[in-house]
Structures are given as structure tokens and as C-alpha cells.
Structure 1
Amino acid sequence: MTRTQAVAIASLGSLALLLGAFAFQHIGGLPPCKMCIWQRYPHVSAVVFGAMALSFQNRVLIIAGALAALASGLIGLFHVGVEQGWWDGPTTCSSGPVGGVSPQELLDQILTAPLVRCDEIAWDLFGISMAGWNAIVSFSLVALWLLALKRS
């Protein structure tokens, strides 16, 4: 596989993950939680870095693409831990004990709370959530970026 092919496949992989996420959201009716959205931003960056790397033949852009895919994979891995209850997620999208608030503040929090929680699995395939699949594919894309770096 050439450098150009590896960059193109890695970039298209990030694009495919983004398109899949939007399809689940807009066609499948599964709105994303806050952490799901966080996983999308690095893929957007990876697509942009890939397009630039294909145009400018720059090793720094390949490294940036690898770091972007790595970031999304790490966020996805963290999200899996939140879903599995291994650690707490952001308080703005996870359930947890309530304390230190007045009844009115609690009511305000309930009424303004997002509908999608980060600690609930909305969809899975073979027991792996969307966040888990994002992590697996993202880490595979990192390998492609690193292969492109080696070939450049």
C-alpha cells in the first residue's frame, strides 16, 4: 500500500464514521449524547488533514491525522468506560446521586436536563456499543495513518 492510498483510506474511514453517526442520528432516530458529539470533532479534523496531506505531501499533516484519529478513539474508549460504569462521566450527561441542591434547583435541573445520557447504551452490535466501535475503528485508522507516515 502506498502512502497516498493509506492516507486516502484513513481519511475516508473517518468520513465513513461521521456519515454513519449522522445516519444513526437522522435516519435511525438515535440522537447523540454529549460524548458522542465529542468523538465526531477529531474525525472532521482527520478528514481535513487527510485532504491536505493528499494535496501537500506533508508528514506533519499525516501526524496530525493520526493524532486526530487517536483522540477520537480515546474519547470513545472513555465513553465505553462510562457506559459500563467503570468510571463517572460528565455530570451534564450521566446520572448520579443528587445532593446539595434546593428542591427548586433540582426541578430546574430536571426540566433543563438533556434527554440523551452518556451512561446508557442506545445501540450495540455483538455487545459492543457505538462508542466501542468508534474506538476500534479509530485505532485501526491510527494504524493506517502510521503506515502512511512510514511510507512517506
Structure 2
Amino acid sequence: MLKRLMSRPNLILLAAGGSAAMMIGALLFQYVGDMAPCKLCYWQRYPHVAAIGIGVIALMVPGRLFPLLGALAALTTAGIGVYHTGIERAWWPGPESCTGSGGGLGGLSGTDLLSTAAPTGLVLCDEVAWEMFGLSMASWNAAASFGFACLWLMAARSRV
């Protein structure tokens, strides 16, 4: 029973399905929860989309190449999630275009400094929009994606 559960197709379905669930969750947070994503949030989504496509192909094509590519996609989004978590926790600086630390006031005119109009649509990467049990969405993405990578690697090793 366990051997059948841990078959290559089931492992691929779990890994790619996990990425699909992460994407559905991200879109629900964005469109239902009205939480706009930052630039790094978008970057974390792209490997999940790739993993979903790789999963579809891996179910039809035998061999280890596609499960290994799925693992690479999962590890990529996990790495971006760790990087994003580090920025949120101020462990290291983030891109100036996405954090509150960039630029300074030197390029602003007096009118700009006195303006009360705040920029719209700007979501900073160093601000945590939501967290559960002390972990941000980026942290949860990293943890889940490392798990998906393990599933992909188990699928690559599976002979069935």
C-alpha cells in the first residue's frame, strides 16, 4: 500500500499539486484578501507555475529529467522565499526598488516633499503583510517548497 502511495505518478501529483495549491492560495490572498503582492512575491510564483507545467509533462514522459527539473523549480522558489524572509527580518538588504531603504530624499523636489499624495500600488518587500505562527507568507512558501523539492527528488528516484 505504501509503495503504491509513493509511486512516481503520485509523488509528481503531490509535488505539482502542492505548487498549484500555493498558487491558488497566493491568488486568493491577492484577489479575495486584497493583499497586493510585492516584486519578490511575484518572483516566488514563477517557479511554481513552471513546476505545475513540468508536472503535467512528467506524468506523460518517463525518466528522471522532468522530476529533476521540478525539484529545481521547487528549490528556486524556496531560495527566493528564504531571500525574501531575510529581507523581511532585516537579516540582509533587499533590492532598493522593493524596500523602504532605497534612494533617500536627495532626488525629491520641495513640492514632492510637501505633497500629501502617497504613491499608489507600491508594496514593499521588507514589510510582512500576513503571518501565521510567526512565519510570513515568504517563510511558509520556502518551507513548503523545500518539501515539494523532496517529493520531486523521490519521484526522480522512483522506478515505478
Q: What's the TM-score once normalised by structure 2's chain length? A: 0.87
Q: Indicate the SS of the match to 1:103.
A: coil
- Could you tell me how far apart the structure 2 residues matched to 1:90 and 1:38 are? 13
**1:115 deviation in Å?**
1.7
1:101 is aligned to: 106
Residue matched to 1:25: 30
* Structure 1 residue 72 corresponds to structure 2 residue 77: yes
SS of match in other structure, 2:99: coil
- TM-score of the aligned structures, taking structure 1 as reference length: 0.92
Q: Report what 1:138 is aligned to.
A: 145
Partner of 2:3: none
Larger Rg: 2
Tell me which of 120, 124, 136 is aligned to 2:131.
124
* 3-state DSSP of counterpart to 2:42: helix
Q: Which runs of 5+ in 2 are unaligned?
A: 1-5
Higher share in helix: 1
Q: CA deviation at 1:57?
A: 1.7
Distance 1:141 1:97, change over 3 A: closer
Q: Structure 1 29/104 Cα, relative in aligned 2: closer, same or farther at 3 Å? A: same
Pick one of 45, 50, 61 that aligns with 1:45: 50
Q: Deviations over 1:24-63 (max 9, x none)?
A: 0000110000000000000000000000000112311111
After superposition, the Cα gap between the structure-2 partners of 1:97 and 1:67, relative to the gap in structure 1 and judged at 3 Å, is closer
What amino acid is the match of 2:85? V
Q: State the Cα deviation string for residues 5-30 of structure 1 (Å, max 9, x = none).
A: 10111000000000000000000110
- Going from structure 1 to structure 2, the CA distance change for 1:88 and 1:106 (only over 3 Å counts) comes to farther
Q: CA deviation at 1:96?
A: 1.1
Relative distance call for 1:37 and 1:139 in structure 2 (3 A) is: same
Which whole-Å deviations, capped at 9, do the CAs of 1:89-123 have from their partners, x for residues lacking one? 11111011544833339949x97675210000000
Gaps of 5+ in 1: none
Aligned residue pair count:
151
Q: 1:93 to 1:3 in 2, by over 3 A?
A: same
